[in-house]
Structure 1
Amino acid sequence: MNGDGGGPTVTANGGSHGAVAGTIHGGVHNNYYQVPPGASPWEKFDIALRYLASGQATTARKLLAEVTVEIRSSTKVWFHWLLAFFSERTLWELSVEDRAALKAALDQIDELPREYWTPGIEAIRHLVAASRSRNADHAAISLVRREIEDLDAAMRKEVLRHLERVLQGSLKDELWHEDLRQAEAGRRAERRRERVWKFFEPDPAQPRTRPVRPVDVSGGDLAAASVLATAVSGAVAMIGWLALQRDDTSAIIALTVALIAAGVAVTNGAEWRFRVDRLRAENRQLRAQRLPSDAARPGGFTYQVDRLYMRYADRYAPKGPDRAAWLVDAYGPMSRLRDELVEVYREKRVKAEAVKWLIRFQVRELRREWDAGGLVEQHRRWTVPTAVKAVTVTAGLAAVAGLMWGIQSAARQNLLQTAGALVAIIAAGWTVAIVGLRILAENKRVAVDESEREQRETTYWFEFQRWERRLSDRPHDVEMAQWLDCDRRILLQHALAAYQLKWSDISAYASMEARGDGSKRARAKNGPWRYSRYKLLVFLLTADGVRQISVDLDFAQATFHHWERTNYRYDAVAAVRVTTLDNGAREFQLFLVNGADIEVAVTEPGQAGADEDSRILADGAQDATGLRNTLFVLEGVAAEGRSWWAGPAYRRAS
């Protein structure tokens, strides 16, 4: 523990936060905080309750103020109006206008008949009255405690949560045990550890594959091949006709064998040509590929995709000496997949995070193939097998031998006609073989590519659907806010225990939740950023000075780490400042006279989307981080020291 302002500098400035992309959820989250045009009062009421439940009390108050103009006779509406009115702020923060609005609301409520929500309203009124009095008697405190205990569980939970900053002194002591019990139960409720990570996962983009390049054969090639093939067929038919006129059965059989062998030779020759072309093309592609791309713009889609491939290649790499072999063998296939993905998803509305699931799946599948030996074979799969070469050559020789047998028989019948047919076969046959093999190889390429594309697309869709099912129970923003609120209450209890204090020893307190180092971030539209790691700070104002605790929170695991405790006198506080940067981010700074300053980046840079309200985002950020209340409390201390709560702000609350 450090005394009287001698504590270390506490910095939570975000480091590289600005470079870390955040997820803004669409789908079911898209309209979660959106007030549709022409919304009815009850629709506005439902959305206001979402804002209230998520800790965005300022926006909830504004919406409920609109609702109460149109719905004036509902105790349900007024009960929640009171919750929002007092939520996330102390009685000291109520302005003259706030107090006038509260009086008018209570006058309106007095005219309503008793209903289900009436006990909750009465408990709030008596709780506020007891908290306003510095010396509330035991009877008043007992009445408030009894009224709250008599509420049903859901209503009692809401009252204790939203009026937590209103409670003071011995009244807070009386109710803190129940408040703490609820926090302990709530911080791990609804399978938090199993679900929190899903909030930071983006909605996956649907799988896409690159269309297969069509057959690259010109009309002239097809016409030439047809004419030449017709010429060759006519010449062979002439030879067969001449042999038939001689009634030379052996020649007819030889020509038949030649035709069959030629077909076998062409079929295998086309396979040979296809494999040679494919191997050359892949070698050229491999030489041209760079992963990551040297030309990728830092921060752009291609750049981020490259980094994701490298990250997962590293994650799935085997340990030990096989690591280098895996990276070398996976480089080519991974580069081809990367090129395809960049091409089919390169558009502004698709972010790299949305295809992270596909990149992870592709690399995982490459590792599975590599373990089975298939990835190594992939490099050799287009090598022409010896059997194909042997069959092609043998069938070609057989075709030539059979043709020669038929030619010698036909020549005996008519030498001139046979010579003409032979010239046609030699002249046209060679050309038609070259063009025909290229055409057949190109058709083979299209068939193979289409088969592979369909197979990959099918596996991608299965993985996409599996991933969607995994994310189907992603927590809503309200759940994230409630878990964080429970963590904050547990931290308050740790702070009280660390300093051996009870609530009646606390004159005032403030708490702040900022982004932790290396954390992910995500939010619903019109909602505040939520983080996978937080930096939490608690300031307890006591008669002897300020007691401060800062701690790192692993939000997914609901665990605290790196505790720091600092004490300082009120006269050690030199100044409090909040700086708003050009990008909209806010930095909180508490300056102590000994130079041990506290700096916290409390809100994130960024701007509202096309269908978002910048004012709602700004209010939500201040509410979610606790900046508004912290600034109010610590600015008062910086200005007036320990006499602050005896000054105008405190008297206004009394």
Structure 2
Amino acid sequence: MMLDDVREGNNIAADSAFVAMQVQTIRGDVIFQTAPDDSPARRYQIGVNYLDTGAPETARQYIDLAMARGHSGSDVMFHWLLALLSGKTLLQLTDPDHRRLRERLKQYRPARHDAWADGVTTIRSLLIAQNDDQDHPPDPRFDRLGKVQQDKIFQHLELLLKGPEERNLWNRAVQQATENQLKDARVQRVWKYFQPVPARPRRYYPEPVRADDLTSVVLVVCGLVFAVAVLCLAILVLHGTAGWHAVAVLPALFGGYRLLVDGVHWLAAKDAVRAREKVLFGELPEMTAPPKGGFAEGIDRYFDRYFGTYVPRDTERTSWQQQTAGIRRLIRNEIVEIFRESDVKHPQLAWLVRRRVSVVRTQWETGALWQYRRELGASTETKRNTALGLTAFTIFGLLLVMEAFRAQPLQALLMTVVAVGAVRVGAPRWIGLVSEKDRFKRESREAEAVLAHSMEAYERWTQKLADRPSETEMATWLDCDRKILMQKLLDHYHVAPDDLIAQAFIEAPAPGSSRARVVNGPWRYTRYRLLVFLITHEGVRQVSTELEFAEAVFSKEKRTNYSFGTVSSVYVAEGDSGHEMFELRLLDGQKFDIPVDGAGVGDEVDPEDTPGVVSKVTFDAAGLNNTLHVLEGIAAEGKEWVNLEKSRGKERMAELLAVMGEGGEN
């Protein structure tokens, strides 16, 4: 089952509009979870996890904290450098960041030479290569790096690659991205990331037998009265002259017993059939609308979707929905009752609703949905025993009563009236009690069967989701898409990677996309809207496109070029819908708005989320911080931005070389 099978709706918006997320999923995961007493090593590992999932600014904060508490090593320095420089050139560093870079490089002393130390050395050589525009000979140490270190450099430091050798490394990075873009069954697995962890099915417990204390008292009293009256009639018969009538007592008692047992069960079965027909065909009572945004409303949406989607073969949708309205209401109420007061969220039950609806569809197609008369009705044996009992009780009972009237008319009349009265009072209550007990037994059996079948479906579904992509895989695939898109744009504009002064990406949700994340992690989307800014000496080349993430397919590409002096303003502001919007304004009146957090008013927050982290991490992973830094500089300085950046770059490079030495190591 693909994601389209579980999406809640098909809202559509224009390019500049935004439609709320169709499916929202939050999964518990320990890779980003923190605790106040976390060790420096744990803080460092969380930072590495954030780096691997494309949130370098957040990663650096955690690694900084770990380093401040004494955690050190070449691996720590390597990841800190990646987090600082990820997706940036030296010119894109802020002044405080550049100062930190100089300080860390000056203080760095490798404890031993290993793959991580070689990685740090390689990053140093890439930084030194920024010093001039001359070509540098190949650095053989790069090819000797471990695959982990190479992959991480390819992922994060492509903008530090310049000159022929560095262009070769960029080409290798693009080639690797092309090879890995659909690796590990991406197309077949991505949809699973957006599925919530399914909740285990629970047993439905039917309403207990409805019988008050008065019913028990009435049945006992009526039973005793009836027994005394029948006993008195039997004594009158036995005292009569026709001794053979005494033989009629036994078949009369047998007939009464059969009526008492089988006859009542037959009537109870008829009640069950009528109850089922009322569910299937009866007029449904008005139901109070559930609270907006609550659990019950979420379950209602799933029932609306799946009963509208899983229509039986050769059946009109309207007819299907009308004739299953009762059974739909019954199943819906059952699920809401079972899970309402639990910590289960309604998205975790989408699979269960889907399963129950598919069962109803199968029953419709096979005709089983209409076989309730055979399933609930009395058995042939019950009917036969009832008929036999009624015949025996009527014939032999009448003989006994007639004989009693011959012997003692007044006493016989009195006992007959008493017996009939006891039956009139007690029989309805007895039938009701038996019906209730039969209902409870029947619903308990059905609940056990539903639970068993649901557990089988649950096991199949969890097994199907067992290979859902990890956070690192999702980030890696997205990074591959970004590199491939970048190369496509470089080819289109005939620009080499090292001709870029700066670049910036914004990765935002496309209208109508579904989203998911782990606790404290960035939102991931089924469809992205990507905004790319390529900064060259000629100006800004802006490209927007949409990415269908599962298939890695780009569409709806739009290109815009403008000079540095035409950028009026750039900022992030909260829109009317509660979404954080990236807003870019040009002097000619053009404006570009794009939601950058995918969040809004009323969004669900996981109890394990650290307050404020999700929005910050989503901004970070979307590339917003770097984009704002670049475009704010252009908006503020206009045409002079290029010259000022070049001047700042020379000053920074001189300061950096003074720390590192021209190709030297500490």
> Is the alpha carbon distance of 1:88 and 1:290 closer, same or farther for their aligned partners in structure 2, counting shifts above 3 Å?
farther
What code does the residue aligned with 1:426 have?
Answer: V
Q: After TM superposition, give the deviation of residue 73 of structure 1 in Å.
A: 5.2
The answer on 1:459 being equivalent to 2:453 is yes
Structure 1: gaps (5+ residues): 1-9
The answer on 1:16 being equivalent to 2:19 is yes
Q: After TM superposition, give the deviation of residue 410 of structure 1 in Å.
A: 4.7
Alignment-derived partner of residue 632 in structure 1: 629
CA distance in 1, matches of 2:15, 2:74: 43
Matches within 5 A, 1:141-220: 142-143=138-139, 146-168=140-162, 170=164, 172-220=166-214
State whether residues 115 and 149 of structure 2, in contact with CA within 8 Å, keep that contact through their aligned partners in structure 1.
no
CA distance in 1, matches of 2:58, 2:400: 96
> Is the alpha carbon distance of 1:507 and 1:584 closer, same or farther for their aligned partners in structure 2, counting shifts above 3 Å?
same
What code does the residue aligned with 1:157 have?
Answer: D
Q: After TM superposition, give the deviation of residue 393 of structure 1 in Å.
A: 5.9
CA distance in 2, matches of 1:153, 1:586: 38
State whether residues 361 and 463 of structure 1, in contact with CA within 8 Å, keep that contact through their aligned partners in structure 2.
yes
Alignment-derived partner of residue 132 in structure 2: 134
Alignment-derived partner of residue 618 in structure 2: 621
CA distance in 2, matches of 1:197, 1:252: 80
What code does the residue aligned with 1:100 have?
Answer: R
Q: 1:527 aligns with which of 498, 521, 525?
A: 521
Q: 1:595 aligns with which of 589, 609, 614?
A: 589
CA distance in 1, matches of 2:612, 2:220: 72
Q: After TM superposition, give the deviation of residue 626 of structure 1 in Å.
A: 1.0
Matches within 5 A, 1:314-463: 314-318=308-312, 321-347=315-341, 349-378=343-372, 392=386, 395-410=389-404, 418-463=412-457
What code does the residue aligned with 2:642 have?
Answer: W
Alignment-derived partner of residue 478 in structure 2: 484
Larger displacement relative to structure 2 (601-610 or 45-54): 601-610
CA distance in 2, matches of 1:530, 1:586: 16
The answer on 1:34 being equivalent to 2:37 is no
Alignment-derived partner of residue 573 in structure 1: 567
CA distance in 1, matches of 2:103, 2:533: 34
Alignment-derived partner of residue 612 in structure 1: 609
Matches within 5 A, 1:207-356: 207-244=201-238, 250-278=244-272, 281=275, 289=284, 295-318=289-312, 321-347=315-341, 349-356=343-350
Structure 2: gaps (5+ residues): 1-12, 654-666
CA distance in 1, matches of 2:450, 2:547: 41
Alignment-derived partner of residue 80 in structure 2: 81
CA distance in 1, matches of 2:527, 2:371: 44
> Is the alpha carbon distance of 1:446 and 1:512 closer, same or farther for their aligned partners in structure 2, counting shifts above 3 Å?
same
CA distance in 1, matches of 2:162, 2:630: 15
What code does the residue aligned with 1:289 have?
Answer: L
Q: TM-score, normalised by structure 2?
A: 0.87
> Is the alpha carbon distance of 1:68 and 1:386 closer, same or farther for their aligned partners in structure 2, counting shifts above 3 Å?
closer
Larger displacement relative to structure 2 (219-228 or 108-117): 108-117
Q: After TM superposition, give the deviation of residue 581 of structure 1 in Å.
A: 4.7
CA distance in 2, matches of 1:584, 1:128: 41
> Is the alpha carbon distance of 1:371 and 1:248 closer, same or farther for their aligned partners in structure 2, counting shifts above 3 Å?
farther
Query: Residue deviations 1:352-375, cap 9 Å, x none?
Result: 212111111110100011011011
> Is the alpha carbon distance of 1:173 and 1:591 closer, same or farther for their aligned partners in structure 2, counting shifts above 3 Å?
same
> Is the alpha carbon distance of 1:294 and 1:443 closer, same or farther for their aligned partners in structure 2, counting shifts above 3 Å?
closer
Larger displacement relative to structure 2 (181-190 or 364-373): 181-190
What code does the residue aligned with 1:33 have?
Answer: F
SS of the residue aligned with 2:556? strand
Alignment-derived partner of residue 497 in structure 1: 491
CA distance in 2, matches of 1:350, 1:101: 46
CA RMSD of aligned residues (A): 3.0
Alignment-derived partner of residue 114 in structure 2: 115
SS of the residue aligned with 1:211? coil
What code does the residue aligned with 1:625 have?
Answer: A
Q: After TM superposition, give the deviation of residue 310 of structure 1 in Å.
A: 1.2
Aligned residues: 635
CA distance in 2, matches of 1:466, 1:247: 77
Larger displacement relative to structure 2 (175-184 or 86-95): 86-95
Alignment-derived partner of residue 514 in structure 1: 508
Q: After TM superposition, give the deviation of residue 399 of structure 1 in Å.
A: 0.9
Q: After TM superposition, give the deviation of residue 415 of structure 1 in Å.
A: 5.4
Q: After TM superposition, give the deviation of residue 57 of structure 1 in Å.
A: 1.2
What code does the residue aligned with 1:80 have?
Answer: H
The answer on 1:47 being equivalent to 2:42 is no
What code does the residue aligned with 2:154 have?
Answer: L
Q: After TM superposition, give the deviation of residue 209 of structure 1 in Å.
A: 4.4
Larger displacement relative to structure 2 (242-251 or 208-217): 242-251
What code does the residue aligned with 1:88 have?
Answer: G
Query: Residue deviations 1:484-536, cap 9 Å, x none?
Result: 11111111111122223322333322111110121111111111111011011
State whether residues 546 and 568 of structure 1, in contact with CA within 8 Å, keep that contact through their aligned partners in structure 2.
yes
Alignment-derived partner of residue 94 in structure 1: 93
Q: After TM superposition, give the deviation of residue 553 of structure 1 in Å.
A: 0.8
CA distance in 1, matches of 2:638, 2:437: 85
State whether residues 511 and 536 of structure 1, in contact with CA within 8 Å, keep that contact through their aligned partners in structure 2.
yes
CA distance in 2, matches of 1:125, 1:332: 71
CA distance in 2, matches of 1:290, 1:126: 76
Q: TM-score, normalised by structure 1?
A: 0.88
Q: After TM superposition, give the deviation of residue 77 of structure 1 in Å.
A: 2.0
SS of the residue aligned with 1:117? helix
What code does the residue aligned with 2:86 have?
Answer: S
Alignment-derived partner of residue 3 in structure 1: none
State whether residues 577 and 588 of structure 1, in contact with CA within 8 Å, keep that contact through their aligned partners in structure 2.
yes
SS of the residue aligned with 1:113? coil
SS of the residue aligned with 1:528? coil
State whether residues 161 and 170 of structure 2, in contact with CA within 8 Å, keep that contact through their aligned partners in structure 1.
no
CA distance in 2, matches of 1:638, 1:134: 27
> Is the alpha carbon distance of 1:430 and 1:111 closer, same or farther for their aligned partners in structure 2, counting shifts above 3 Å?
closer
What code does the residue aligned with 1:591 have?
Answer: R
> Is the alpha carbon distance of 1:95 and 1:634 closer, same or farther for their aligned partners in structure 2, counting shifts above 3 Å?
closer
CA distance in 2, matches of 1:127, 1:248: 123
Larger displacement relative to structure 2 (641-650 or 488-497): 641-650
